[in-house]
Amino acid sequence: MNCRKVSHSISAYADGELPGMEHRAVHEHLKMCESCRDDYEGILETKRLFGAMPMPSPRSEFVQIVMQRIREEEVISPRHVGFWRMLEERFRLHPTMPQGAIVAASLAVFGVLLMGQKLNRPELTLLSSADEALEAAPATMVFSEQSATSFSPMRMLLSQKQYTLSAPHPPAFHWETSRNNLSGSFLQQVSLGRAN
């Protein structure tokens, strides 16, 4: 093994992540090459330094805040179970119906429904959070058809594969989010920015 090759493997060597053969080869090289040995020491020191960084503490009420936001998000779903089941059945009855039309219709109905019920929860973002969730979901999270046990309308929407179709958002959906406990932070800026 030459120095060039070793230099590329040295970090993985320090982590004990090299396959046996390669590990031994690097090991042998280090015995006789001072420059690579220096490199190796450097990697070890860097690992040690960053590993020694202290752990900052979140606010003491942090867990409470998270769970509160989760409960808030769920408040919408039980109320609309009937609606979503109706939507599902509708979907099954008319498999040939243009999907864009279904999306548009269901979004509109849902929007009207929300407005009609005066759902007074400005801290909740409906479409925009579905948006974000979808985008933030790792590629391996595939949205499947099965959905009857999902909790939120958002998930149902997603799992029916309707969300992925592009339909213009009815204006009812553009009411905005203002997260009560977060100010000036990047996530908020992003979600506000997208709705415009």
Partner 1 sequence: MDFAKLFGVAAKQSRREFDTLVNRCHRQAYNVAYRLTGNHADAEDLTQESFLRAYRFFDRYNRDMPFENWLYRIMSRVFIDELRKKPKHKSISLDAPLSLGGSGENEVTLEIPDFTSDPALMILSETLEETLQKALLSLPDEFRVSVILADIEGLSYEEIAETMNCSLGTVRSRLHRGRKLLRQRVQIAQTKEKLNGEGLLR
For the CA atoms of 144, 151, 139, 103, the dihedral, rounded to the nearest 10 degrees, stands at 70
The residue among 20 and 56 lying less far from partner 1, judged by its C-beta, is 56
Q: How far is the CB of 45 from Zn ion (least distance, A)?
A: 18
Interaction partner, residue 33 (Zn ion, partner 1, none; CB < 5-8 Å by kind): Zn ion
The residue among 112 and 187 lying less far from partner 1, judged by its C-beta, is 187
CA distance 176 to 124: 8
For residue 165, the 8-state DSSP code is S
Q: Which residues bind partner 1 (CB under 8 A)?
A: 8, 10-12, 15, 17, 38, 42-43, 45-59, 62-63, 65-67, 69-71, 73-74, 77-78, 81-82, 85, 129, 132-133, 135-141, 149-152, 154-155, 182-190, 193
**Of the residues 1, 33, 43, 65, which one makes contact with Zn ion according to CB under 5 A:** 33
Single out the residue of 185, 71, 189, 84 nearest to residue 128, CA to CA.
189
The residue among 88 and 104 lying less far from partner 1, judged by its C-beta, is 88
**Of the residues 10, 14, 18, 36, which one makes contact with Zn ion according to CB under 5 A:** 36
Q: Please give the C-alpha separations between residue 136 and each of 37, 73, 129, 193, in angstroms, as whole numbers.
A: 41, 17, 10, 16
Q: Establish if 3 lies at the interface with Zn ion (CB under 5 A).
A: yes
CA distance 164 to 187: 23
